[in-house]
C-alpha cells in the first residue's frame, strides 16, 4: 500500500523534491509568515494546489491529530513535536547540518562563523532537539570562499538529496547519533552581527560572510549612527598601503561610493556595500573604535 505523507516546514525545496519523487502528499502545512507560505500563495510550488498554514504549535498539533498519514517530513518547522503523543507514524526531520554537529536553529550561519562543514541530515524525530537516529546525511565541506547566501543555496540542494536517500531507504535509520565533544550548537543572537573592531580580522571577515543576506548584514556603530555591512575584503596594493600609512588603526583613510578602507592589525580592509541604518556616509578620518 502506498504511503501517505505530511510535509510541514518553512521552505519549499524538500517539498519540491517530494513532489518530483512522486510521493502521495495528504497534507502540506506551511508555517505562517515564512518563505514557504509566500511561495505557496504565489503558486511557485508546482503540484501543490491545497495547503494549510499554521501560526502556533497548538494549531499544528491540533491539525496533526485530525490528519491520517504514514510519514511526516519536517523541514524548517520551528516547533518541537511530542512524537510519542502524536498519531502513530514515522516522523523525520531534515536539518541543514551534518549531525550531531551544528544542532540548533542557525547551523548554516554557524558553519561560516566557526569554519565547520555544513550539509544536511535526515533523522528520525525523538524527544530531543536534532538528536534522533540518522537515516541519511550529505556533507558540504567548509571552504573560505563560501558566504552564507551561497551556503544556504547549497544546503537546500543537500536537503533534497538527503530526502531522496532517506526515501530510498524507506526512512529506516542507519546509525545512532553519538555524543561528540567537538560538536557545537548554534542559534544566532543579536550581538553576533555586531562588529566592535576588537575582533581579529579573520573573525570580522567571517562575520560579514555569515550575515551577508539582505535581511541581515553586520552592524557597526559610529558616533551614534548605525550602518549595515554586507561585504568585506583584504586589500594588498602597495600604493594603497602608502596612502593609508598616515592613518592610525581603524581610522578611515578612504571613503567612496558604498565603501570605506582602513588599516587594522597590519592589514588593509575594505568594507563595502555599507547601508546606513541611520545617519549618512562614513567620512575619511572617522574612528571606527568610537561608537
The per-residue pLDDT for range 80-92, each reduced to its tens digit, is 999 999 999 999 9
Name the pTM for this structure: 0.94
**Under DSSP, is residue 208 helix (H, G, I), strand (E, B) or coil?**
helix
Q: Across 23-89, where does the E strand assignment appear?
A: 24-31, 52-54, 71-75
Rounded-to-integer distance, Cα 203 and Cα 206, Å? 5
Query: In whole angstroms, what is the distance from residue 152 CA to residue 113 CA?
Result: 14
Residue from 274, 111, 291, 141 nearest 206 by CA: 111
What's the pLDDT band for 127 if we cut at 50, 70, 90? confident
H or E segment and range at residue 260: strand 259-264
- Grid cell, residue 184, equals 557545537
Give the integer Cα–Cα distance in Å for 226 and 79: 34
Q: Quick one: CA torsion of 191, 77, 86, 18, rounded to 10 degrees?
A: -150
Euclidean distance between CA atoms 49 and 10, whole angstroms = 17
φ, ψ dihedrals at 93, nearest 5°: -125, 145
Please state, in angstroms and as integers, the Cα–Cα distance from residue 144 to each residue in 36, 131, 192, 199, 288, following that order: 30, 28, 19, 18, 26
Residue 262: which of 277, 274, 245, 279 has the closest Cα?
A: 245
3-state secondary structure of 27: strand
User: Helix or strand or coil: residue 156?
Assistant: helix
* Alpha helix stretches (DSSP H) within the chain: 13-21, 35-41, 57-66, 107-114, 148-168, 201-210, 238-244
Provide the grid cell at 90: 514515522
* pLDDT value for 269: 98
SS3 call for 128: coil
The DSSP call for residue 273 is E
Residue 270 is predicted with a pLDDT of 98
Q: What is the maximum span of the chain, computed from C-alpha positions, in angstroms? A: 77
Phi/psi for 279 (5° steps) reads 85, -175
What 3-state DSSP class applies to 107?
helix
Q: How far apart are CA 281 and CA 227, in angstroms?
A: 9
Q: How confident is the model at residue 103 (pLDDT cuts 50, 70, 90)?
A: very high
> Residue 217 has what pLDDT?
97
Q: Which of 81-85, 204-208, 223-227 has the highest mean pLDDT?
A: 204-208
- Which cell goes with 248? 592610525
- Tell me the CA end-to-end span of the chain in Å, nearest whole number: 65
> How much is the pLDDT for 91?
97
Mean pLDDT score, 96-113: 97
Amino acid at each position: 500500500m502506498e504511503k501517505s505523507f505530511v510535509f510541514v516546514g518553512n521552505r519549499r525545496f524538500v517539498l519540491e523534491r517530494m513532489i518530483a519523487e512522486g510521493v502521495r502528499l495528504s497534507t502540506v502545512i506551511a508555517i505562517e509568515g515564512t518563505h514557504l507560505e509566500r511561495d505557496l500563495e504565489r503558486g511557485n510550488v508546482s503540484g501543490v494546489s491545497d495547503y494549510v498554514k499554521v501560526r502556533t504549535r497548538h494549531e499544528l498539533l491540533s491539525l496533526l491529530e485530525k490528519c491520517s498519514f504514514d510519514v511526516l517530513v519536517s523541514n524548517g518547522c520551528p516547533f518541537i513535536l511530542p512524537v510519542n503523543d502524536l498519531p502513530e507514524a514515522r516522523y523525520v526531520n531534515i536539518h541543514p547540518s551534518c549531525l550531531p554537529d551544528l544542532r540548533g536553529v542557525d547551523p548554516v550561519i554557524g558553519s561560516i562563523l566557526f569554519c565547520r562543514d555544513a550539509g544536511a541530515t535526515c533523522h528520525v524525530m525523538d524527544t530531543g532537539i536534532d538528536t534522533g537516529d540518522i537515516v541519511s546525511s550529505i556533507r558540504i565541506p567548509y571552504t573560505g570562499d563560501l558566504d552564507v547566501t551561497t551556503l544556504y543555496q547549497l544546503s537546500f540542494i543537500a536537503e533534497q538529496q538527503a530526502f531522496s536517500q532517506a526515501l530510498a531507504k524507506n526512512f529506516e535509520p542507519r546509525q545512532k547519533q553519538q555524543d561528540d565533544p567537538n560538536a557545537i550548537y548554534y542559534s544566532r543572537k543579536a550581538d553576533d552581527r555586531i562588529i566592535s573592531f576588537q575582533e581579529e580580522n579573520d573573525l570580522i571577515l567571517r562575520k560579514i560572510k555569515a550575515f551577508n543576506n539582505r535581511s541581515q548584514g553586520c552592524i557597526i556603530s559610529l558616533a551614534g549612527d548605525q550602518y549595515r555591512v554586507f561585504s568585506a575584503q583584504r586589500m594588498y596594493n602597495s600604493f594603497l598601503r602608502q596612502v593609508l600609512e598616515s592613518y592610525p588603526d581603524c581610522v578611515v583613510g578612504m571613503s567612496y561610493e558604498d565603501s570605506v578602507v582602513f588599516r587594522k592589525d597590519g592589514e588593509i580592509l575594505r568594507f563595502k556595500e555599507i547601508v546606513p541604518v541611520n545617519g549618512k556616509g562614513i567620512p575619511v578620518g572617522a574612528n571606527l573604535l568610537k561608537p
